[in-house]
């Protein structure tokens, strides 16, 4: 049985004081949740303060990105070891905003995924199509290419440790959400690709999250679908009441 995972991506919001306050509120409101994994991903500068705020609770800490090298002359980057040193256990890789604004590629994502796995971090690998690609009927082709290239050469054991987040780009921050049926269709296809690449056991074990304007009002129906194992939440994760309701979805 796959344990659901709900992750909140704070993007470039909340300074250290604001982030710690939100984290403390979430720690209180979610302290009794036992049957699902909870993760929050603050900005880099906020990680230490948030890490302290959630210490001793049931909320995991994620970074929004990382470099694939251990160290070096890479101004503005952070390494896996740096993230581990402040309590990070997860890292988001290949978010569409990183791909769109910073030119990240599937090959680059593979390098980061490989480093994350080797360092003991859980990679949350983001994939998804644009509105134009969906209109042209290319959704399956796009996500298959992202999976094949982003996970190329991984062992079955490593592949099982990757969390995949399907985020249709046309639904991120737009208020538009894929219907549960659309999301389930793509998630089922993703699981089929994983089965083809790594076998049925890995396909059954890998968690596939849905992201794209997830809100308290739609999370219940999304999570009722058999191949949706959680959510990667954007704007709604910046409010304690909203994110807590999402974490406590009823399916």
By annotation, the residues acting in catalysis are 95, 167
Burial label, 58 (beta-carbon count in 10 A; 0-12, 13-18, 19+): middle
Q: Give the residue among 76, 246, 68, 41 at the shortest CA–CA distance from 163.
A: 41
Scanning 199-247, the segments in alpha helix (DSSP H) are 200-205, 219-223, 240-247
Using CA atoms, how far apart are residues 210 and 172, in angstroms rounded to an integer? 11
Q: What is the dihedral of CA 97, 101, 104, 106, to 10 degrees?
A: 50
Q: Give the residue among 47, 50, 64, 6 at the shortest CA–CA distance from 30.
A: 6
Q: Residue written as tokens 């959510």?
A: 231
């Amino acid at each position: 049985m796959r344990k659901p995972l709900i992750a909140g991506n704070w993007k470039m919001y909340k300074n250290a004081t604001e982030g710690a306050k939100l984290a403390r509120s979430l720690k209180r409101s979610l302290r009794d949740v036992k049957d699902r994994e909870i993760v929050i991903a603050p900005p880099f500068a906020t990680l230490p303060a948030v890490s302290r705020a959630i210490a001793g609770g049931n909320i995991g800490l994620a970074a929004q990105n990382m470099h694939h090298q251990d160290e070096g002359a890479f101004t503005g980057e952070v390494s896996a070891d740096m993230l581990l040193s402040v309590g990070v256990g997860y890292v988001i890789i290949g978010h569409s905003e990183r791909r769109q604004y910073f030119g990240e590629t599937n090959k680059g994502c593979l390098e980061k995924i490989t480093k994350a796995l080797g360092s003991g971090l859980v990679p949350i690998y983001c994939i998804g199509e644009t509105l134009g690609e969906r209109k042209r009927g290319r959704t399956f082709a796009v996500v298959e290419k992202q999976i094949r290239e982003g996970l190329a050469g991984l062992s079955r054991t490593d592949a099982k440790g990757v969390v995949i987040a399907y985020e249709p780009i046309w639904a991120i921050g737009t208020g538009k959400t894929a219907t549960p049926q659309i999301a389930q269709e793509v998630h089922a296809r993703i699981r089929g690709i994983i089965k083809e690449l790594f076998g049925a056991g890995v396909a059954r074990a890998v968690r596939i999250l849905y992201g794209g304007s997830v809100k308290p009002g739609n999370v219940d129906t999304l999570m009722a679908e058999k191949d949706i194992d959680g959510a990667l939440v954007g704007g709604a994760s910046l409010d304690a009441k909203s994110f807590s309701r999402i974490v406590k979805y009823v399916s």
